[in-house]
Amino acid sequence: MKAVDILIKNANEIVTLNGPNRPRKMKEMNELSIIENGSVAIDNGAIVDVGKNLTYNSDKIINAKGKIVLPGFVDPHTHVVFAGSREFELDMKLKGLSYMDILKSGGGIFYTVEKTRNATKDQLIQQAKNRLDKMLRYGTTTCEAKSGYGLDTKTELKILEVNKKLNESHPIDILSTFLGAHAIPKGKSADEYTNEIIEEMIPKISHLSKFCDVFCEEGIFTVDQSKKILEAGKTHGLIPKIHADEIVDTGGASLAADIGAISADHLLMSSDDGLRKMAEKGVIGVLLPGTPFSLMQELYAPARKIIDMGVAVALATDLNPNCWVENMQFMIQLGCLKMKMTPSEAITAATFNAACAIDLSDRIGSVEVGKQADILVLDCPNHKHIPYHFGVNLVEKIIKNGVVL
């Protein structure tokens, strides 16, 4: 018998997500390719075999009887590096102030920018590491992380350097996004700051980022300004992403399609026309149900309609000081209970499609031979328990890169 580093066996379900390497849409989002009473063999950091009744020797045998095995969660939209906190905004929200009311009065993002500018790199690393540790315990093995609490070249660089350090030192793999266009700093016009982003910031930060993002929203960046910024990013090799149509439909979804963005995120107010264009161009819709939850909103992104129109959907936490959540299991719960996704759709959205949204589906997002061994054992009898059994951490074991943590 061949020996392997780790053998997981007897799992009630191996949720493999085996299938084509492209974003799963419509009916495909319901196909988890589950193997019942299955095993996974892991060697040298990679998945080497998946199936029933595998016979391997191993010094590390994990008996997953009564449990399920899943690819590690991928969180494709976070603002994990920031300083301070904004718990005091909850009282303002309870009094009826909206997200934009708080932002326009100089709070919100601006409050966090002030704190982040004043924090040292070590302080930012310490605070973000604490969040990443929690993310990992809740099963996130890869995440995206945005800058955007600097709004000046120096601090944006500082945040992206912190991302790099964290990626090197923390078990979670972290992919960086430049989001200098997160708000317009005080004392500058939107056009002035747009030019600064294009002419000064992007050339100086592009080596530290894979993606470029813009908060395209009424009162923040217009479609026109967003387009210029994302085009400039593209010429420096940055893949476009967009915070689109969260509060008002300004045409963010259409812009995402026109510019060839890998994803458009939020999408609460997007027009049918914009969504149709996203479906045609294969732009992934990243839905962030933690945000309306934290804002006490009735309205969530219309996931049912978005999926039925043919957009491949992913889920993410949006972890930020307005929506402080490290837990992708909770996103699956909100996906089902608030946005009417099926359990299988929500699991696809939190794993394989989330990997597609950060351009990593060739390496992670499914339990398939040849992929990086980022694998979870969850203490529940079948995958439908993930959205059903909420308010607890179902993750029992985390294997990252072939190492049991």
Asked if residue 213 binds Fe ion (CB under 5 A), the reply is: no
Asked if residue 110 binds ligand NIG (CB under 6 A), the reply is: no
Minimal distance in Å, beta carbon 86 to ligand NIG?
7
Whether the CA torsion 261, 263, 269, 270 is positive or negative: it is: positive
Asked if residue 322 binds ligand NIG (CB under 6 A), the reply is: yes
What 3-state DSSP class applies to 248?
coil
Minimal distance in Å, beta carbon 266 to ligand NIG?
7
Pairing between strand 211-216 and 46-52? unpaired
Minimal distance in Å, beta carbon 9 to Fe ion?
40
Residue whose pair of structure tokens reads 């301070």 in the numeric block:
84
Size of the chain, expressed as the number of residues it contains = 405
Q: Binding segment for ligand NIG among 36-44, 63-71, 317-325, 336-344 (CB under 6 A)?
A: 317-325
Asked if residue 109 binds ligand NIG (CB under 6 A), the reply is: yes
Tell me if 397 sits within 8 A of 377, measured CB to CB.
yes
Burial 83-107 (b: 16+ CB within 10 A, else e): bbebeebeebbeeeeebeebbeeeb
Tell me if 140 sits within 8 A of 171, measured CB to CB.
no
Compute CA distances 332 → 86, 105, 349, 352, whole Å: 25, 33, 8, 13
291 binds, among Fe ion, ligand NIG, none (CB under 5 to 8 A by kind): ligand NIG
Minimal distance in Å, beta carbon 288 to Fe ion?
7
For residues 343-362, which are near ligand NIG according to CB under 6 A?
A: none
Minimal distance in Å, beta carbon 23 to Fe ion?
20
Q: Which residue is nearest to ligand NIG (CB)?
A: 322
Contacts of 389 (CB under 8 A, 6+ apart): 380
For residues 53-92, which are near ligand NIG according to CB under 6 A?
A: 79
Q: How far apart are the C-alpha atoms of 90 and 93, rounded to whole Å? A: 5
Q: Binding segment for ligand NIG among 46-54, 104-112, 301-309, 358-366 (CB under 6 A)?
A: 104-112
209 binds, among Fe ion, ligand NIG, none (CB under 5 to 8 A by kind): none
Question: Which letter does DSSP use for residue 312 in this model?
Answer: -
Q: Dig out the tokens for 387 from the structure.
A: 């959205």
Among 321, 365, 387, 402, binds ligand NIG (CB under 6 A): 321
Q: How far apart are the C-alpha atoms of 395 and 72, rounded to whole Å? A: 10
For residues 287-326, which are near Fe ion according to CB under 5 A?
A: 318
Q: How far apart are the C-alpha atoms of 405 and 397, rounded to whole Å? A: 7
What 3-state DSSP class applies to 311?
coil
Q: Dig out the tokens for 246 from the structure.
A: 């969260």
Among 39, 116, 127, 320, binds ligand NIG (CB under 6 A): 320
Minimal distance in Å, beta carbon 85 to ligand NIG?
11
Closer residue to ligand NIG in complex, CB, 240/321: 321
Closer residue to ligand NIG in complex, CB, 215/352: 215
Among 25, 129, 210, 243, binds ligand NIG (CB under 6 A): 243
- Tell me which residues touch ligand NIG (CB under 6 A): 79, 108-109, 112, 215, 243, 246, 291, 318, 320-322
